[in-house]
A and B are shown apart, each in its own frame.
Chain A
Amino acid sequence: MREDLFLDPWRRLLDGLGVDPWPELVGSGFLDLLRPEAEGGAGLDLAGLFTLAFEVGRRPWTPRVLQTILARLADPEALDCPDAELVLVAGGKDPVVARALCAAIDAALMAGAIDTLQAVTLDYASTRRQFGREISKFQAIQHQIAVMAEEVMAARMAAEIAMAGPPLSVSAEAAAVAKMRCGEAAMVCAGIAHAVHGAIGVSAEHDLHHLTGALHRLRLAHGGEAYWARKLGAWALSRSDDAATLVRSL
């Protein structure tokens, strides 16, 4: 499996990035993962990129590597790209595909970010004590974290399914499911994480706001839940299939 081959070096690279990360990132070759092998890239498809994007999502302080990887499909020299959609469209790629591709990547990043959110929330709930015991012993806290775990699983599933095939053949409908579902999960999980953390979670020093802040920005980027739900619904209602058939084709 190519993706497994990449995963460990990728994690090490992300965890070791310094204050000037871009020369190191360029040198690593990872920025050209999606570009064709004939042009010096790795020719990775979206399925291969999923876990790598997820890992970036788990580290929301990482520089904009995913946007840059996508932008390089149109501009091989792109660096520190704030928004790949603009670069892809300027480079002549289909605007519908460009937006869907960016949305699918946003979804993978969100799925990763809420995975970390769950880890820090579990950890905090098991260490913070009130009324003489860990707050994780209170049923109300347990049930909130159970809901969070469900959302984490749902988000990852939605994001992973959308990441299939060559990047520029991404399915707009699958991307819609991913961005919509991950956006919903992000809202639920950010709310629960902050609730469980109490006041410490809104202090500047605490890492929590990096995660929830990233989630809020990703929700806004490249169309939010309502935007993608409308696209998906318009597609569904333009066909005559039943719901079960429609979801099977997503």
Chain B
Amino acid sequence: MLAPLVPAAIGPEDEALRAEVRAFLAERLAGVPGARRARTWMGFDADFSRDLAARGWVGLTLPVEFGGGGRSPFARFVLIEELLAAGAPVAAHWIAERQSAPLLLRYGTEAQRRDIVPRICRGEAFFCIGMSEPNSGSDLASVRTRAEQTATGWRLNGSKIWTTYGHKAHYMVALVRTSGGPDDRQAGLSQLLIDLKTPGVTARPIRDLAGDEHFSEVFFEDVDLPGDALIGQEGQGWSQTNAELAFERSGPERLYSSTVLIDEWMDFIRGRGGPTESEAELAGRMLARLATLRNMSLAVTGQLARGESPVVEASMVKDLGASFEQSIPALITDHLASVDGPVPAPLLATLDYLAGMSPTFSLRGGTREILRGIIARGLGLR
């Protein structure tokens, strides 16, 4: 059995950040409709990311000597909780600051750390994640994109798919095969840093069911990369990728994707006078689940702050959080379908967007089944 999560609280110096962030967001997001805000970390706005960076809010926990804020994970929790709950368009810098910068700091060359990480913190270098391929989704170790060693570095061939903002990012961190064959599975995989301006790289956006173009297909045709494109060690890509996924899975991203909808719905109910019993009950059920998830997410942040690597706990919070977020559109649809009289069009637009996209909440970053497999392993069942 797993050790219980230890409740954690945000200290006053980190909590102090909140008012400032809220004031900034209230001004910047005034008048942005809910359906747009519901896109949150799928919404790309480079200017917005740079404005955040100008305030020191990109790379908050990264070391000061690399351009970061040197703050605690709890300060970052406050910041991203506010960004997500408000539905700020943070996609441009999100991946770079959340996982690429920590990855480079841990495994990158001194030159990469000195050159790229400060640019990430300034909101000038955006990253994408090159893991999935057309025939390699959950079975990530089966990737076929391949880099061969050359006299000057690496020559890359293959393609990636579902790459969030692969067509807008400056760099990709890709998991590719550098030795052996498909039968070698995890062995022979490496992580490469790819400057997406390199000749031979093309990216084609893929339209989603809501009409948005966030993910893309990225092709590599005889792409020549320098020797230091290799991140960390040759053949260590699998374990490095898992360390990277731990950063991806441990934040409060998996709690707040539907809060814009909850807020619009609660405002609608408030505007209709006193809530009925069933309306109060629905609000209460949603909030009790959200409050508990937030405390769990904070506890995972506490583990990170203590230098632990809460892979299993983060997977649990992500799985539970994704199920929660996914349940919201259906619960609210159920209620709205019982209401006599008109429902505001903006509320319906937000609902429509989230009802369509919520299935992705348990796909991106590892599917529900993959996460439950990680948890089962953590419990000693496999």
Interface size class of A (residues with CB under 8 A): 35 or more
Q: Is A234 a contact partner of B375 (Cβ separation < 8 A)? A: no
- Which of A126, A181, A229, A242 counts the most B-chain CB atoms under 10 A from its CB? A229
Q: B333 contacts the other chain (Cβ, under 8 Å)?
A: no
Q: Is B288 a contact partner of A232 (Cβ separation < 8 A)? A: yes
Q: Is A176 a contact partner of B1 (Cβ separation < 8 A)? A: no
Q: Is A231 a contact partner of B376 (Cβ separation < 8 A)? A: no
- List A contacts of B316 (CB < 8 A): 146, 149-150, 153
Q: How many Å lie between the Cα of A137 and that of B380 in the bound state?
A: 10
**Can you list 21 A-B contacts with CB-CB less than 8 angstroms, sorted by A residue number?**
A126-B381, A141-B381, A143-B376, A145-B379, A149-B379, A156-B4, A160-B7, A177-B288, A184-B289, A225-B285, A228-B288, A229-B285, A229-B288, A232-B288, A237-B279, A242-B266, A243-B85, A243-B286, A244-B82, A246-B287, A247-B290
Which residue of A is nearest B280, CB measured? A233
Question: Which A residues form the contact surface with B (CB < 8 A)?
Answer: 118-119, 122, 125-126, 136-137, 139, 141-143, 145-147, 149-150, 153-154, 156-158, 160-161, 176-177, 180-181, 184, 225-226, 228-234, 236-237, 240, 242-244, 246-248, 250
Q: Is A153 a contact partner of B5 (Cβ separation < 8 A)? A: yes
Q: How many Å lie between the Cα of A33 and that of B85 in the bound state?
A: 41
Would you list which residues of chain B between 281 and 331 have a CB under 8 Å from chain A?
Answer: 281-296, 299, 313, 316, 319-320
Q: How many Å lie between the Cα of A153 and that of B376 in the bound state?
A: 14
Q: Is B287 a contact partner of A230 (Cβ separation < 8 A)? A: no
Given contacts A180-B288, A181-B288, A244-B259, 16 further A-B pairs with CB under 8 A are A118-B1, A122-B380, A126-B381, A145-B379, A146-B376, A149-B316, A157-B5, A158-B295, A177-B292, A225-B285, A231-B280, A233-B283, A236-B283, A243-B290, A244-B81, A247-B287
Which one, B279, B296, B372, B375, contacts A154 given CB within 8 A?
B296
Question: Which B residues form the contact surface with A (CB < 8 A)?
Answer: 1-2, 4-5, 7, 81-82, 85, 256, 259, 262-263, 266, 269-270, 275, 277, 279-296, 299, 313, 316, 319-320, 369, 371-373, 375-376, 379-382
Q: Is A146 a contact partner of B375 (Cβ separation < 8 A)? A: yes
- List A contacts of B294 (CB < 8 A): 247-248
Which one, A126, A157, A234, contacts B275 given CB within 8 A?
A234
Task: Give A170 Cβ to nearest chain B Cβ, in Å.
Answer: 16
- List B contacts of A136 (CB < 8 A): 381-382
Dominant SS among interface residues on chain B: helix
Taking A154-B296, A161-B7, A243-B85 as contacts, is the C-beta distance between A180 and B376 under 8 angstroms?
Answer: no
Q: Is A247 a contact partner of B281 (Cβ separation < 8 A)? A: no
Taking A158-B292, A243-B262 as contacts, is the C-beta distance between A142 and B373 under 8 angstroms?
Answer: yes
Q: How many Å lie between the Cα of A26 and that of B351 in the bound state?
A: 57
Which one, B85, B299, B371, contacts A244 given CB within 8 A?
B85
Task: Give B297 Cβ to nearest chain A Cβ, in Å.
Answer: 10
- List B contacts of A147 (CB < 8 A): 372
- List A contacts of B293 (CB < 8 A): 154
Q: Is A243 a contact partner of B263 (Cβ separation < 8 A)? A: yes
Taking A139-B373, A247-B291 as contacts, is the C-beta distance between A157 and B285 under 8 angstroms?
Answer: no
Shortest beta-carbon contacts, A-B, top 7? A229-B284, A233-B284, A233-B283, A233-B280, A232-B284, A244-B85, A142-B376
Which one, A156, A225, A237, A242, contacts B283 given CB within 8 A?
A237
Dominant SS among interface residues on chain A: helix
- List B contacts of A145 (CB < 8 A): 376, 379, 381
- List A contacts of B292 (CB < 8 A): 154, 157-158, 161, 177, 181
Q: How many Å lie between the Cα of A226 and that of B382 in the bound state?
A: 37
Which one, A141, A184, A231, A237, contacts B269 given CB within 8 A?
A237
Task: Give A162 Cβ to nearest chain B Cβ, in Å.
Answer: 10
Q: Is A242 a contact partner of B381 (Cβ separation < 8 A)? A: no
Q: How many Å lie between the Cα of A119 and that of B379 in the bound state?
A: 10
- List B contacts of A160 (CB < 8 A): 7
Q: How many Å lie between the Cα of A145 and that of B372 in the bound state?
A: 9
Q: Is B382 a contact partner of A157 (Cβ separation < 8 A)? A: no
Task: Give A224 Cβ to nearest chain B Cβ, in Å.
Answer: 11
Q: Is B288 a contact partner of A158 (Cβ separation < 8 A)? A: yes
Which residue of A is nearest B321, CB measured? A150
Taking A153-B296, A234-B275 as contacts, is the C-beta distance between A142 and B382 under 8 angstroms?
Answer: yes
Q: Is A119 a contact partner of B270 (Cβ separation < 8 A)? A: no
Q: Is A243 a contact partner of B280 (Cβ separation < 8 A)? A: no
Q: How many Å lie between the Cα of A149 and that of B373 in the bound state?
A: 12
- Which of A122, A136, A145, A154 counts the most B-chain CB atoms under 10 A from its CB? A154
Q: Is A229 a contact partner of B373 (Cβ separation < 8 A)? A: no
Q: Is A242 a contact partner of B259 (Cβ separation < 8 A)? A: yes
- List B contacts of A237 (CB < 8 A): 266, 269-270, 275, 279-280, 283
Q: Is A229 a contact partner of B281 (Cβ separation < 8 A)? A: yes
